[in-house]
Chain A
Amino acid sequence: MRCSSLARGRSAGTVLAAWLLAMALTPSMWAHAQTDSRIQVLFARAERLFRAGEHEAAVPLVDRVIERIDERGDDIPERLRLLLFRSLTYRVIGRWSTGARKGIDADLDRIVELDPRFEMSSDDVPRELVARFAGRRQRKIGYLQISVFPADSRVLVDGQPVDPLPDILPVLAGEHNIYADNPGFAGRTETVRVRSNRTEGVSIELERASATIRLATQPAGATLVIDDDLIGVTVAALGQAGGEEASESIVIEGLLPGWHEIEITLPDHRPFRQRIEIPDLMDYDLGTVRLDRSMGVVLLRGVPRAAEVLMDGESPPLQWQADLAASRGREGSARIELPVGSYRLVIRHGAAGIYESDLVVEDGATLRLDVALRPGLVFVGVVGGDDLDRDAVRTALLTRIERIDGWFVLDRSGDGSLEQIAGLRRSEMGTGDPEELREAVDWARLQQEVATQTSGSLFMLATVPEGTPPGVFDLWLWSAPPGSARPQRVRLAVDDQERLGMLTTQLREPLPRSRPWFGATLIDNGSSGRPTVVWVEPTGPAAMAGLKVGDEIRTVDGVEVTGVAELQQLLGATEPFAGRTLQYGRGASIAVARLTLGSSPQSIATLRSERLNAVIWAAAAAQIARADATTPAWVAELDQALILMQGAQWERAAEWLAAVRAPEDLPFGQSAVDYWRGVALSSGPEPDLEAARLALRLAAGRAGGRLHHHDGPLVAPRALARLAELELRHHDS
């Protein structure tokens, strides 16, 4: 099999490169190239003179051109043949016009020999010269009348293609070989002698040798294999620069009747394979074979609709489809169709966090990913000290934080732009008093600009103040807006494993998890030596188990308990919703109850000096943004309000809490929110005492309301105590 029309349209660059390569290999050819260019320059000069009518001046130049070309002997390349033809033509016209007609006939003969089909016209040439040329021509040429079947066959006369094939073909008198071929037909040669001024007819009928298949591919560039034989690669049509356009058609011949396997392949596209039957020795046209791109699907589960999804930095079109998650009130899954290949997936969703993954899309396959957004922890960098100090600090910190689950760590310490944003220079490191640095930096601006440059929930910047011992540094932490820009500072040392461990502990579990809920208050009763019930939450687990005021707990799952602390430790080690068996005394009798512990959310304790508030704020923001079902959003919002209160942002905290809606029917719920709101409203330089009293009264009015968790301290006594103080302040004012 062979194929025609392949690889046409190679670029000029390819030709030049090949030519240069050839020149490199053939020094003589390089010399010829030099000569050829001189000839062209000469010819150009002669042509200018000739067109200007200066025939007398042009002829000598033309003589030299012809002379130089003749020096090449028989090996005259095609481009020089054309120059020779034109030069002879100019010389003839020039000599004729100047009257120096000697040798004109020889020139006219050569013109005819160079192009038998050339006919001189009288438009620009004297009629006598035209007649003279015609006479010389008549002596030298004859005519061929070629008919060929099939009519679209390729015809070569003496090895040169004749296309289109004229009815009458002028040729030099003499013997000529006419060759015809056609895909699917056996080529055939006929030799004919042509006499001058005579027409010789030639008829060539080609015999069928094989069937042919014509096809094109879309896109071009596909590799064609038939019956495991490589046929070739389709090329783009002329004028097309690639892309998805169809190729030029190709014709494959040499196919015999029977079954044949066609395979067309193109990278990143699905292969085309077809088994075809060729019944007869005929021409068959398969048209344009369209190759489909190889595509895969990526299914992202758990992505919020508002999240930004990027594949290699671009936003692909997303299709949302319902699934089990959607039926549970969540977003469903995002479906992305992509060409096969490797991608870097990045998902960002504000405070909810970041997700990144490298993935490989395979043809026809669906890749399912469960997306768990993690809040971004951005390490801005290290400022101050020398290179060794900064490297040591960076290593100490990154070694610790990179392995922490729950955060997506972004190391921007190599990004000098963030440090520039910080506006921190060595001179600002000051005398080593970090509080001077705290006042020197515009932290609000820093927070805004860093947050604009990079996604993240929590930011860390290390400083090495002058005058501190080697290895000692300050770590400044702040959360993304709307958290406080005013950072917390922790003094650490690169070899202080304990303090560094404290940092990672804070990061690992910034927020308290839910805890088991018992639902009763017990006291150590010295008279009986048993934990004794003094209060039972009516809707709580203890009430469900049947416990009442006065009951004395004796054992838990058979283990004797003699104190409340012991009982709390036993129950505290139980998972929420787990069951325990309690034996208790009621009066003179002993009974057994099956207790199923409940589950209580937990808020942060009010003040823990070692706690990192920025970490908590960021973690709470992420919880809220992720709509984490395990922790109610109102608890995270309450935690954030407590952080605001820690920072003495009373007014902001009060506004924050005004928007929080917590359950009214659970011990730890709206009463706690009202209480803290009352505290916030009554604090600060401009308290709103009336609103504070209202909030505290609401808090005090809910019996059994608790702080921190369902078994936490009671709200009412604290609210009443604060109310008493407010009443006195109001009275005094």
Chain B
Amino acid sequence: MSGGIARGLLGGGLLALAAIAAVAFTTTAAVAGGKLAGGVAQAEAIFAEAENLLRVGRVEQARASYERVIKEYTAAEYPQLVWRAAARVRLGDIQWRSSERALAGAEYVGVLEQEPPSFWTGRARLGLATVVLAGGDWVSAADMMQRVVTAAELGAADANVPAAEEARRRLTLIARFRLRPPLDQPLWTSTRALAISGLEFDRPVSLAAAADGQLLVVDEGLPSVLLIDASHANHSRLRYNDHTRPWWGPDGLPYLPTRRAGVIALGGGHLGFLAGDRGKPAPVKDLQAGARTLDGHWYLLDSSPRRILHFGPQGEYANRVTRELEQPVDLTVDASGRLYLLDRSSRAVVRFRADGTREGRVVSSAWRRPESVEVDWLGNIYVLDRDARTIEVFNEQGRRIARLGPSLPGGVALRGPRDIAVDGQGRLYVADRSASAVYVVQ
């Protein structure tokens, strides 16, 4: 059985990246002439087609197109072709998220060593840093990411400003979690309440953070959904409509599940989901939370019954993830596509591999009322215990490395925390309904 989704206009993200790549191509393509120019345009077209396929989740078809660019537009004939480097980076990304992740690192290395310096060099470095970090070598990963930052700062041929910003955040995260503990320095040192001109929180109940620090806050008291920029100085309001717990997708888009209206993708469209293992598919209602992977798969938590459902990139129903006795209250996905669900009944976080296979309980603790789970780029797991007013932080292996609350660093006391979020550099955000505040811990 399959469901369907109403397609809206999903902008930003991949397309934005494609636009930047087009600027870089124009610069370098000026060198080509004659029949080579025709070849370059063809390569660009194939790459763009692959990007579209990837965006809508048709990964294998996208992969085939990327491989075609690599195979048909060789370095011997097109030494300056940026699209080949781009295709190799994308191929590496796909391999990393698949059973072929062992090939991803070599693909990124190939871009660094065999392709001319370009915008895509930075992305290859970031990709390789992710591979290296997964192997436990954070120093090498930091070395690579710093080169991305430095290249952008110096305006080098391989400058990639968006990648540099992402790298900068990750470096701050690494500094927080790898440099501070050996020096006996606390991971977070201060807390402040978000103070935005023209905005007073009333009952903030849920929030989501983008990697760059943009926030989406659901305040049921105002009632509004607030979109706050990365500088935390400006905001815009959206009409509240029974939204529940938002999330920020790896595609850079915010998503708002609702109790009645499916999922709203900010920037366009309401998305409704149909699910059912037997018989007629039924609309999924009362969505509490959700997550979306980079290759477009959906994981949605509905509350009646409490279950986490898996949908494919086109919105087709795939399967139910949770078991019968599980009482999931929140879920999230990490940078490598692993799914985490917070099960209140077993007081545990269960992790699923990127291929969907269940890994098992990664974290378990004597929480009183686990409410929310988050994961950062390093794989650290954050769990909010609503009743205990604490936030516990665990490393990727499930060892607890920090505990915050009820008094946060700097002396701010939590009163009624309802949701947490963490951004790309490890800043923690807490929605405290009782305090009518959103706190930033850094």
Contacts and interface: CB of A to CB of B under 8 A. Distances in A.
Contact of B100 (A532, A569, A727, A728): A728
A523 B147 CA distance: 9
Contacts of A526: 168-169, 171-172, 175, 425
Contacts of B113: 606-607, 679, 718
B144 A713 contact: yes
Contacts of B174: 523, 534
A649 interface: no
A568 B140 contact: no
A326 B405 CA distance: 75
B151 to A, nearest CB: 9
Q: Is the interface of B mostly helix, strand, loop or mixed?
A: helix
B198 interface: no
A720 B105 CA distance: 8
A607 B114 contact: yes
B106 A525 contact: no
A466 to B, nearest CB: 15
Contact of A565 (B131, B153, B182): B153
B105 A521 contact: no
Interface string B302-313: 000000000000
A608 interface: yes
A327 interface: no
B143 interface: yes
Contact of A717 (B104, B132, B171): B132
A476 interface: no
Given A607-B116, A609-B80, A725-B103, A550 B182 contact: yes
Nearest to B147: A713
Contacts of A713: 112, 143-144, 147
A59 interface: no
Point out which of B103, B109, B154 has the most chain A C-beta atoms below 10 A from its C-beta.
B109
A724 interface: yes
Contacts of B178: 534
| A interface majority secondary structure | mixed
A528 B442 CA distance: 11
A288 B141 CA distance: 90
Interface string A36-79: 00000000000000000000000000000000000000000000
Chain B CB within 10 A, most for which of A525, A717, A720, A728: A717
Contacts of A718: 109, 112-113, 128
Given A606-B112, A606-B113, A521 B143 contact: yes
Which of A565, A568, A587, A606 lies at the interface centre, i.e. has the most chain B CB atoms within 10 A of its CB?
A: A565
B355 interface: no
B356 to A, nearest CB: 21
A712 to B, nearest CB: 10
Contacts of A565: 149-150, 153-154
Interface in B167-191: 168-169, 171-172, 174-176, 178-179, 182-183, 185
B115 interface: yes
B102 interface: yes
A207 B172 CA distance: 122
A727 B100 CA distance: 12
A524 B171 contact: yes
A727 B106 CA distance: 11
B105 A525 contact: no
Contacts of A524: 146, 149, 168, 171-172
A42 to B, nearest CB: 96
Given A523-B171, A725-B106, A720 B139 contact: no
Interface string A120-141: 0000000000000000000000
Interface in A709-730: 713-714, 716-718, 720-722, 724-725, 727-728
A535 interface: yes
Interface in B85-128: 100, 102-106, 108-109, 112-117, 128
A606 B146 contact: no
B72 interface: no
Nearest to A433: B34
A563 interface: yes
B11 interface: no
A565 B150 CA distance: 5
Given A534-B139, A563-B153, A721 B109 contact: yes
Nearest to A716: B140
B142 interface: yes
B106 A717 contact: no
A160 interface: no
A688 B379 CA distance: 38
Contacts of B279: none
A521 B102 contact: no
B183 A722 contact: no
A91 B135 CA distance: 133
Interface in A673-727: 679, 713-714, 716-718, 720-722, 724-725, 727
A725 B105 contact: yes
B183 A587 contact: yes
B175 A532 contact: yes
A727 B183 contact: no
Contacts of B283: none
A67 B237 CA distance: 152
A525 B171 contact: yes
Contacts of B80: 609
B396 interface: no
A28 interface: no
Nearest to A529: B172
A365 B211 CA distance: 79
B137 interface: yes
B281 interface: no
B176 A527 contact: yes
B150 A607 contact: no
Contacts of B431: none
B189 to A, nearest CB: 8
A528 to B, nearest CB: 8
A549 interface: yes
A534 B179 contact: yes
Contacts of A523: 142, 145-146, 149, 171, 174-175
A535 B76 CA distance: 38
B106 A721 contact: yes
Interface string A219-243: 0000000000000000000000000
Contact of A721 (B108, B146, B171): B108
A340 interface: no
A338 interface: no
B12 interface: no
A619 interface: no
A678 B262 CA distance: 53
B146 A564 contact: yes
Contacts of B185: 587
Contacts of B132: 717, 720-721
A591 B242 CA distance: 56
Contacts of A528: 175
A534 B142 contact: yes
B221 interface: no
Given A607-B113, A609-B116, A728 B102 contact: yes
Looking at B137, B140, B182, the one whose CB has the most chain A CB atoms below 10 A away is B140
A568 B156 CA distance: 14
B169 A549 contact: no
Interface of A: 521-528, 532, 534-535, 549-550, 563-566, 568-569, 587, 606-609, 648, 679, 713-714, 716-718, 720-722, 724-725, 727-728
7 contacts: A522-B146, A523-B142, A525-B171, A526-B169, A535-B143, A568-B150, A728-B103
Given A524-B172, A534-B174, A717-B140, 17 more contacts: A521-B142, A522-B146, A523-B145, A523-B174, A525-B171, A526-B172, A534-B139, A534-B175, A549-B182, A550-B179, A565-B149, A606-B114, A609-B116, A717-B128, A721-B109, A722-B106, A724-B103
Closest CB pairs A-B (n = 10): A721-B105, A526-B172, A565-B153, A725-B106, A525-B175, A724-B102, A606-B113, A717-B140, A717-B132, A523-B171
